Amino acid sequence: MIDALLGILLCQLIGEVISRGLRLPVPGPVVGMLLLFAILRWRGGPPPQLSTTAHGLLTHLPLLFVPAGVGVIVHIPLLIREGLPLFAAIIVSTTITLLVTGLTVHRLYRRK
């Protein structure tokens, strides 16, 4: 389990180094996740130990949202002041995401 966790954290660290070193507009953990995905695809899938570790982490995923929730509560005056633009951005980005996802799935199903 420790080896698998170290592998996940190493991918995140390498992603952070790449993101900062190349000044990418993408967060380091996202680059690390893409790196981990590429490695797992190249190896033909995750080893059992990594699957077990990932399942354990996903089981406790809701706990990772607690700091974000506390951060939102701390910034309530800012949210009140900037609420309308934030709400508009959320609605527009969600709509675009749904449309792009729907079109992508539709085109992929047509290819089959």
Whether residue 53 is found in the same domain as residue 70: no
Average pLDDT of the chain is 92
Whether residue 54 is found in the same domain as residue 69: no
Would you state the pLDDT for residue 67?
Answer: 84
Whether residue 6 is found in the same domain as residue 53: yes
Domain carrying residue 106:
65-112
In which band, very low, low, confident or very high, does the pLDDT at 107 lie, cut at 50, 70 and 90? very high
Whether residue 32 is found in the same domain as residue 54: yes
Whether residue 47 is found in the same domain as residue 76: no
Q: What is the pLDDT of residues 45-100, one digit of tens each?
A: 999 999 999 999 899 988 888 888 888 888 889 889 998 999 999 999 999 999 99
38-74 b/e with 16+ CB inside 10 Å = b?
A: eeeeeeeebeeebeebeeeeeeeeeeeeeeeeeeeee
Q: How many domains does the chain have?
A: 2
